[in-house]
């Protein structure tokens, strides 16, 4: 919860700071044009990468393999596209990093390592057997 609150407060502060700094260097209209340009080019490239991911996923399905990486990559691309649509330079930079395949693979490897460690730590299962009580009740009624 604290991380989410920090993101909700921190990201707009960073974006406003960058708007002011970059706007003072290149001008207000150029800053606005740059925001729209990065969003437009980023969304076009995200679409291109999305189609590549979809094509790779379909080829995995044809081979009777689960396209797990492609599914996660598609979700990452959707998140990156949202970041690119949001106005701001920091979100655009992060979105572009996620869209490019080498950096996306790097991010997904790190996230999967952290997630697999957490899952291994949380695996406190108790093995046991189960019986269907309804079948026992039906057998007892027949007798």
Q: Where are the domains of the chain?
A: 10-108
pLDDT at 141: 67
pLDDT confidence of 140, banded at 50, 70, 90? low
Cα separation, 7 vs 47, in Å, equals: 27
Cα separation, 130 vs 52, in Å, equals: 46
pLDDT at 109: 86
pLDDT tens-place string over residues 99-125: 988 998 898 888 877 776 665 665 666
Structure-block tokens of residue 128? 């046991």
pLDDT at 47: 92
Contacts (Cβ under 8 Å, ≥6 apart) of 71: 57
pLDDT at 68: 87
Q: What three-state secondary structure class fits 24? A: helix
pLDDT at 34: 92
pLDDT tens-place string over residues 40-70: 998 899 899 999 999 999 999 999 988 888 9
| % the chain with pLDDT above 90 | 48
pLDDT at 123: 63
């Amino acid at each position: 919860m604290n991380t989410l609150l920090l993101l909700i407060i921190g990201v707009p502060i960073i974006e406003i700071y960058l708007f002011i700094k970059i706007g003072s260097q290149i001008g207000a209209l150029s800053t606005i044009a740059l925001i729209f340009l990065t969003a437009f080019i980023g969304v076009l490239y995200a679409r291109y990468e999305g189609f590549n991911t979809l094509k790779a996923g379909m080829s995995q399905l044809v081979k009777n393999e689960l396209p797990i990486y492609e599914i996660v990559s598609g979700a990452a691309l959707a998140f990156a596209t949202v970041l690119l649509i949001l106005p701001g330079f920091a979100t655009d930079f992060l979105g572009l990093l996620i869209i490019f395949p080498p950096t996306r693979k790097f991010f997904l490897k790190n996230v999967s390592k952290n997630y697999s460690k957490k899952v291994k730590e949380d695996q406190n299962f108790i093995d046991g057997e189960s019986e269907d009580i309804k079948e026992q009740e039906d057998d007892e009624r027949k007798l």
